Structure 1
């Protein structure tokens, strides 16, 4: 198990503008949109990072839990938000990611997501493969 509270964590950083379609009738970013933004950051982390293209190994996973804590409403401003994600725990068949939606020094939302390695053919969980663990290590403490 890897614990991201140790020194040496390398967060994944994902910047995203707020769009008018993200806003609810109160001109705040809708809570569902916040989770979508976090998932966009996870897609960027696992699949779109420069230097990772052409790699054949990508995590095959399903989310089993998202725990979101909303600190304050996020409203439209021209400055983009920043989503910082670290892999906080890695087990044999699952891992946890912690993501913070921030702008400047303010944190608007913290999300802890649990994902499980998944075998689509057998339709069940499976152990993480070494190549998948290598992807996870990019954003977790040095082992």
Structure 2
């Protein structure tokens, strides 16, 4: 958590929660190919291994705040997994825990799709990508 993530009530601001989800997603699945400089390899290089010109775009975020997430100057615990794999999109689920009390404060899910950057056409999730993600499948949070 960063000091600037806090709102006037001492909680992590809801807009900053979306940024935390993005950071957790990049930590788990890699930055988009061609961005930034070389760094640490992610556990699953889903986004960093797509072909040049392919973009992973956010289709939807769903967020449920189950408790206030108070600012603390210690790292958060964010669980990340694949909740669903469809033909042309995938759902990434998250659970954010308070790092001290360990209570769940946020449940969230992001739907992403791969798109060809120039044409804007939707791309199907390949068999290789599905196989790569299968070990990280878990339950969806919003059904």
Common fold: TM-score over 0.5: yes
- Tell me the residue number matched to 1:31: 14
Alignment TM-score, normalising by the size of structure 1: 0.74
- Alpha-carbon contact 2:29-2:43 (below 8 Å) kept: no
State the aligned residue count: 122
- Tell me the residue number matched to 1:19: 2
Alignment TM-score, normalising by the size of structure 2: 0.74
Higher relative contact order (CA 8 A, sep 6+): 1
Q: Give distance in 1, aligned partners of 2:113 and 2:91.
A: 9
More strand by proportion, 1 or 2? Answer: 1
- Tell me the residue number matched to 1:75: 70
Name which of 58, 61, 68 aligns with 1:63.
Answer: 58
- Tell me the residue number matched to 2:82: 87
Q: Note the C-alpha offset of 1:51.
A: 8.2
Q: Give distance in 1, aligned partners of 2:78 and 2:135.
A: 16
Q: Does 1:124 pair with 2:121?
A: yes
Q: Give distance in 2, aligned partners of 1:114 and 1:57.
A: 17
With over 3 angstroms needed to count, the CA separation of the structure-2 counterparts of 1:140 and 1:31, relative to structure 1, is: same
- Alpha-carbon contact 2:83-2:93 (below 8 Å) kept: yes
Alpha-carbon RMSD: 2.2
Q: Give distance in 1, aligned partners of 2:110 and 2:82.
A: 10
Structure 1: which 5+ residue stretches go unaligned?
A: 1-17
Q: Does 1:137 pair with 2:139?
A: no
- Alpha-carbon contact 2:82-2:92 (below 8 Å) kept: yes
- Tell me the residue number matched to 1:45: 28
Structure 2: which 5+ residue stretches go unaligned?
A: 31-40, 139-143
